[in-house]
Amino acid sequence: MNGIVVVGTGQAGFQLGASLRENGYAGPVTLVGDEPGLPYGRPPLSKAYLLGKTDAAGLALRPDAYFAEHRLTIRAGERAVAIDRAARRLLLASGEALAYDHLVLATGSRNRPLPVPGADLAGVHQLRTLADADALKAALAEARAVAVVGAGFIGLEFAAICAQKGCPVTVIEGLDRPLARSVSPAMAALIETSHVRAGTRFLFGRAVSGLIGPDRVRAVALAEGHEVAADLVLVGIGILPNDDLARAAGLRVENGVAVDAMLATEDAAISAIGDCASVPSPHAGGARVRIESVQNAVDGARCVAARLAGRPAAFTAVPWFWSDQGPLKLQIAGLCQPHDRAVRRGDPESGSVSVFCYRAGRLAGVESLNRPADHMIARRLLQTGRSPTPEQAADPGFDLKALAL
Ligand code: FAD
């Protein structure tokens, strides 16, 4: 028996190993990851870790002893370079080949590069790994003015940290609002207001044409000629799925490794989970989605582990996500985009509000700001397929919890 080989020791890869053991799988499990060290969680990298509220040990998904106890072999610092599907072998950069009965691709994603001159200057950072966070943390301690390119989740979380630390920060975004692809305009407006109150400056509808050095960055150049002075720049313009291994092996790739409702590729011996997988989702009317969240990585891993342990079931888990930005705790249940109607529950002035998003008359998702009870109810509503009318959702007197139970 060759057992199960996993490429990637991130959130999804780790969970796959853990869930295989929870499901009673007794065969060999090997996780190959190109980062050093044991699996760790990324969310604190843009939050507590930068604030010094947790350290590298606090990021660990499990203590060292767990892996030996559960017979999970971690091959850290090793890169997988090819899949020999005919022979069922994974080839490593070292030249070694690992034979598998089943291969799980949990290769995650990488930062989208900023395609302008100066993007590689000293002082220009990205944030994906612990090593990135260490470099960014050291740079922030010295920074006098920060520019963030991209008003996505990572950019906004970092902007909130800068504001908390009293460092002037400007967020430059090509679209007309923050989180334009991720949240409703109503929620984006609330989030923008809170960041502005904390001291963050936004420049919307601006394209970055270059980063100005000569050696270290000193400013961000905008397309219309204006410059934003900054000695630290964080680029957060989205991520790209790590699907090259799958593509080179002749597997279908469609904005990520294309899998079916069971998270299997067209090769019955290969599955894909987490950020790298493109999945037909019942929460998007069967359309393919590629979700970048801890929940998606964890639930996808659980789904594949159960199948490999003999209990196959389709991947139907309700997607959910959170982002902490200074005083804001944003939680999203379901897939809100696109939606054709949105209603608010709660008073925006109170700082605690949810936006219920509807698609073709049915609840598609709920965005909650500092309103965790709504988030939990929304997950339950979406799981059970119960959809309050927009009027009910907007009515503070309507008992949503009773509908969800
Ligand atoms: P990853 O965690 O990226 O792991 C993939 C691993 O595979 C990586 O270590 C990669 O180096 C490795 N790998 C890739 N190719 C190879 C290869 N060929 N050989 C060997 N190894 C390889 N999500 C939330 O829900 N809430 C949050 O608040 C949140 N905050 C975040 C903050 C930051 C700074 C970041 C970066 C992400 C955040 N996320 C958050 C997203 C979440 O962390 C990801 O969705 C999750 O980590 C995806 O897990 P994964 O295992 O699919 O990918």
CA of 326 to the centre of ligand 1 (A): 22
CA of 10 to the centre of ligand 1 (A): 6
Residue showing tokens 């947790």: 54
Ligand 1 atom with least separation from CA of 244: 18
CA of 332 to the centre of ligand 1 (A): 19
Name the residue ranges covered by the structural domains of the chain. 4-110+239-308, 124-235, 327-404
> 127-161: per-residue pLDDT in tens?
999 999 999 999 999 999 999 999 999 999 999 99
Ligand 1 atom with least separation from CA of 12: 51
CA of 109 to the centre of ligand 1 (A): 6
pTM value? 0.97
CA of 291 to the centre of ligand 1 (A): 11
Angle, CA of 116, 122 and 127, to the nearest 5°: 75
Ligand 1 atom with least separation from CA of 32: 20
What secondary structure, in 3-state letters, does the chain show? CCCEEEECCCHHHHHHHHHHHHCCCCCCEEEEECCCCCCECCHHHHCCCCCCCCCHHHHECCCHHHHHHCCEEEEECCCEEEEECCCCEEEECCCCEEECCEEEECCCEEECCCCCCCCCCECEECCCCHHHHHHHHHHHHHCCCEEEECCCHHHHHHHHHHHHCCCCEEEEECCCCCCCCCCCHHHHHHHHHHHHHHCCEEEECCCEEEEECCCECCEEEECCCCEEECCEEEECCCEEECCHHHHHCCCCECCCEECCCCCECCCCCEEECHHHEEEECHHHCCCEECCCCHHHHHHHHHHHHHHHCCCCCCCCCCCEEEEEECCEEEEEEECCCCCCEEEEECCHHHCCEEEEEEECCEEEEEEEECCHHHHHHHHHHHHHCCCCCHHHHHCCCCCHHHHHC
Q: Considering only CA atoms, which residue is closest to atom 44 of ligand 1? A: 293
Q: Considering only CA atoms, which residue is closest to atom 5 of ligand 1? A: 108
Q: What is the pLDDT of residue 20?
A: 98
CATH architecture of 327-404: 2-Layer Sandwich (3.30)
> 276-310: per-residue pLDDT in tens?
999 999 999 999 999 999 999 999 999 999 999 99
Look up residue 65 and give its two tokens: 């002893």
Ligand 1 atom with least separation from CA of 46: 34
Q: How far is residue 384's CA from residue 381's CA, in Å, rounded to a whole number?
A: 5
| Residues with C-beta less than 6 Å from any ligand 1 atom | 7-13, 32-35, 42-43, 45-46, 79-80, 106-109, 127-128, 154, 242, 245, 274-276, 292-295, 297, 321-323
Q: How far is residue 363's CA from residue 298's CA, in Å, rounded to a whole number?
A: 24
Look up residue 137 and give its two tokens: 């943390």
For the chain, which ranges sit under pLDDT 70?
Answer: none
- The CATH number for 124-235, chosen from 3.40.50.300, 3.40.190.10, 3.40.50.280, 3.50.50.60, is 3.50.50.60
Ligand 1 atom with least separation from CA of 296: 45
**Probe residue for ligand 1, chosen from 42, 154, 179 as the CB with the greatest number of ligand atoms within 8 Å:** 42
Residues near 320 by beta carbon (within 8 Å), at least 6 away in sequence: 293, 295, 331, 332, 333, 334, 375, 379
**Probe residue for ligand 1, chosen from 294, 320, 367 as the CB with the greatest number of ligand atoms within 8 Å:** 294
Q: What is the pLDDT of residue 314?
A: 97
**CATH 3.40.50.2300: does it fit domain 4-110+239-308?**
no
Q: How far is residue 149's CA from residue 208's CA, in Å, rounded to a whole number?
A: 8
- Please state the ipTM of this predicted complex: 0.99
327-404 matches 124-235 in CATH topology: no
